Amino acid sequence: MTTIDASTNQTVVPERARWFTHDRFGLFIHWGIYSAIARYGRGGLAEWSKSMDQISEEEYQTYFETFDPDLYNPVAWAKSAKAAGMKYAVITTKHHDGFCLWDTQLTDYKATNTPAGRDLIREWVEAFRAEGLRVGFYYSLIDWHHPHFPLDGFHPRREDRVVRAEARDISIYLEYLRGQVRELLTNYGPIDVMWFDFSYPESDWGWAKGKGRDDWQSEQLLELVRQLRPDILLNNRLDLPAAADFVTPEQVQPRGWIEVDGHRVTWEACQTITSSWGYDRDNLDWKSPDLLVRLLIDAVSKGGNMLLNTGPTARGEIDPRSQVILGELGAWMKCHGPAIYGASASSFAAPLDCRLTQRGDRLYVHLFSWPMTHLFLEGLAGKVRFVRFLHDGSRIRFHDGTLAGSHTTPSGVTTDVLTLELPSQRPDVLIPVIELYL
Ligand code: H79
């Protein structure tokens, strides 16, 4: 099972997961027939519209019958992801609404039977692999379409609770769920990540409880996944903490390296460019490229990854607004990859308003705000051979000790300090990074 490295208090990353903690940055894609509804504006969660707006099956069927992604070009998506510096991608094969993007044999509720007329996942997998990206499948445990998914408080139609709640047999749904997972992990080559969503056993709506490992029969599902793909990386949303390869904070940055049972674990923050996951035309919560780079740096400085989401349009294009942002992230990543890929938390202390990442004997200082000509680094006197800006490789002068006239660092430490001499003018990159050769 899991091994702990006593010197770092870290769970040892198994061989099969090394790529994941190296690659750090992935693309999350939420795409489905909800992409045509394209709301919620402020507050987000456009992909939850069927539930939040209590949309009937009849109305929702319209979005199924008109789903026609004539501009779908997964090769272009893959190229955008790669140019943004992403190394892997995860797509919603099925979201909570139950609509399947692949040619499943287990339901008619699939892209094949819409005007799209084909398996959209197969092309996606091929396109992303061709760009050298790893591929992952998001699969919703929740299913608002399947007739045997037991109703609970997330169910779209409130009146259904009374009328339709009784005749549901979860064992029939679980056969379906396992059958679909078998298809996904058998028919598309070696899938790298399995991203289930989600368990909510603590929810209690009075008339119905939430669902967790006992409802999903998670142990059985786990066994199936491991049997089909022993090396796949499994997220932590089956409500089986010990079986998870990584932990998945959603729309939140942890305060530090995430610990489970007191040990640092592999984790991936999922963040989304707007506050929705699915395409949300009127969303007002766009994150700037500057903020998104900070989120990525922050994750890596705490030993984690970032899976950044965009919701393509109903016609199959990555939202042009997202494309611009991905392009800007790519421009930063092009120069700053060495501070992200293969890098992790550092045990040195970060100066105020900075994040540190480290990769072997290279230490990276990410400057979230620009200091006035000097940066004081505690605990680094006599330990540094060379210092430069990462974006252009230009050297930065440094010397041991604090500056004559400044006497102390902001925290009052006067010994064991390395002082860097910075230009007054902040380099014109999203976040400037200084590389120190230890
Ligand atoms: O797929 C994306 C989301 O749709 C899904 N996970 C990511 C990756 C997700 N978002 N939120 N949640 C899962 C947790 C549930 C949030 C809720 Fe609610 C808050 C459920 C009930 C209150 C949102 C607001 C839905 C109904 C009201």
Residue 30 domain-assigned? Answer: yes
Q: Look at residue 347 and tell me if it is in a domain.
A: no
DSSP per-residue codes, 375-420: EEEET-TT--SEEEETTT--B-EEEES--TTT-S-TTS--SSEEEE
Mutate to test the pocket of ligand 1, among 42, 48, 275 (most ligand atoms within 8 A of CB): 48
> Is 329 found in the same domain as 389?
no
**Pairing mode, if any, of strands 259-260 and 397-400?**
unpaired
In a domain, 346, yes or no: no
ipTM for this model: 0.96
Instruction: Kindly write down the DSSP assignment for every residue of 239-259, as one continuous string.
Output: S-GGG-S-B--BS---SSS-E
Q: Give me the residue label for tokens 């002082």.
A: 419
- Cα-Cα-Cα-Cα dihedral sign, residues 199, 201, 202, 207: positive
Strand order in the sheet with 433-437: 354-359, 362-367, 433-437, 386-389
E strands, 256-381, in order: 259-260, 263-264, 267-272, 304-310, 354-359, 362-367, 374-378
Closest ligand 1 atom to 248 CA: 8
Domain residues for 360?
354-437
Give the distance (Å) from ligand 1 centre to CA of residue 122.
Answer: 27
Q: Is 345 a domain residue?
A: no
Burial of 347 (0-12, 13-18, 19+ CB in 10 A): exposed
Residue where a domain stops, chosen among 339, 365, 390: 339
Among 347, 343, 358, 351, smallest CA distance to 409 is for 351
Pocket perturbation via mutation, ligand 1, pick of 28, 31, 45, 101 by most ligand atoms within 8 A of CB = 45
Side-chain half-sphere CA neighbours of 160 within 13 A: 20
64 shares a domain with 14: yes
Give the count of domains, the chain: 2
> Tokens 């796949």, residue?
232
Atom of ligand 1 nearest to the CA of 92: 1
Q: Which residue, by CA, sits nearest to atom 21 of ligand 1?
A: 154
Domain annotation covers residue 348: no
DSSP 171-233: HHHHHHHHHHHHHHHHSSS---EEEEE---TT-B-SSSB---HHHHTHHHHHHHHHHH-TT-E
Give the CATH number, domain containing residue 399.
2.60.40.1180
Nearest-5° Cα angle at 338, 336 to 340: 80
pLDDT value, residue 407: 54
**Smallest CA separation from ligand 1 atom 2, residue:** 277
| Pairing status of strand 134-140 against strand 263-264 | unpaired
Residue 290 CB contacts under 8 Å (≥ 6 apart), including other chains: 430, 431
Distance 344 CA to ligand 1 centre (A): 29
Same domain membership, residue 379 and residue 290: no
Q: How far is the CA of 45 from the centre of ligand 1 (A)?
A: 7
Instruction: Kindly give the residue spans of alpha helices, DSSP state H, lying in 30-159.
Output: 49-52, 57-65, 74-83, 120-130
Tell me, yes or no, whether 36 lies in a domain: yes
Residue 184 domain-assigned (yes or no): yes
Q: Give strand pairing partners of 427.
A: none
CA torsion angle for 5, 218, 300, 379 (degrees, to 10)? -30
Tokens standing for residue 156:
């779209």
Whether residues 280 and 359 share a domain: the answer is no
- What pLDDT does 404 receive? 57
Question: Are both 170 and 63 inside the same structural domain?
Answer: yes
Determine the distance separating the centroid of ligand 1 and the alpha carbon of 250, expressed in angstroms: 9
The CATH number linked to 95 is: 3.20.20.80
- pLDDT tens sequence for the chain (438 residues): 578 888 888 888 999 999 999 999 999 999 999 999 998 877 789 999 999 999 999 999 999 999 999 999 999 999 999 999 999 999 999 999 999 999 999 999 999 999 999 999 999 999 999 999 999 999 999 999 999 999 999 999 888 876 666 689 999 999 999 999 999 999 999 999 999 999 999 999 998 999 999 999 999 999 999 999 999 999 999 999 999 999 999 999 999 999 999 999 999 999 999 999 999 999 999 999 999 999 999 999 999 999 999 999 999 999 999 999 999 999 999 999 999 999 999 999 999 999 999 999 999 999 999 999 999 999 999 999 999 999 999 999 999 987 655 555 566 656 789 999 999 999 999 999 999 999
Q: Are residues 371 and 328 in the same domain?
A: no
Q: Domain check: are 95 and 230 in the same one? A: yes
Ligand 1 center–CA 298 separation, angstroms: 24
Whole-model pTM?
0.96
For residue 7, what pLDDT is reported? 84
Residue 285 sits in the same domain as residue 364 = no
Question: Residue 103 falls within a domain, yes or no?
Answer: yes
Pair 188, 314 in one domain: yes
Pocket of ligand 1 (CB under 6 A): 30, 45, 47-48, 51-52, 197-198, 250, 270, 277
Question: What pairs with residue 420 in β-bridges?
Answer: 375, 398
Residue holding tokens 């603590």? 202
Same domain membership, residue 111 and residue 49: yes
Burial class (CB in 10 A: 0-12, 13-18, 19+), 239: buried
- Residue 127: the pLDDT is 98
Shared-domain flag, residues 291 and 390: no
Helices (H), 16-117: 18-23, 49-52, 57-65, 74-83
pLDDT attached to residue 393:
98
Same-domain status, 418 and 369 = yes
Last residue of a domain, one of 314, 339, 364: 339
Q: Whose CA is nearest to atom 25 of ligand 1?
A: 48
For residues 96 and 32, what is the distance between their CA atoms, to the nearest angstrom? 10
Check if the beta carbon of residue 167 is closer than 8 Å to that of residue 146.
Answer: no
Domain end residue (candidates: 339, 374, 394): 339
For residue 268, the model assigns a pLDDT of 98
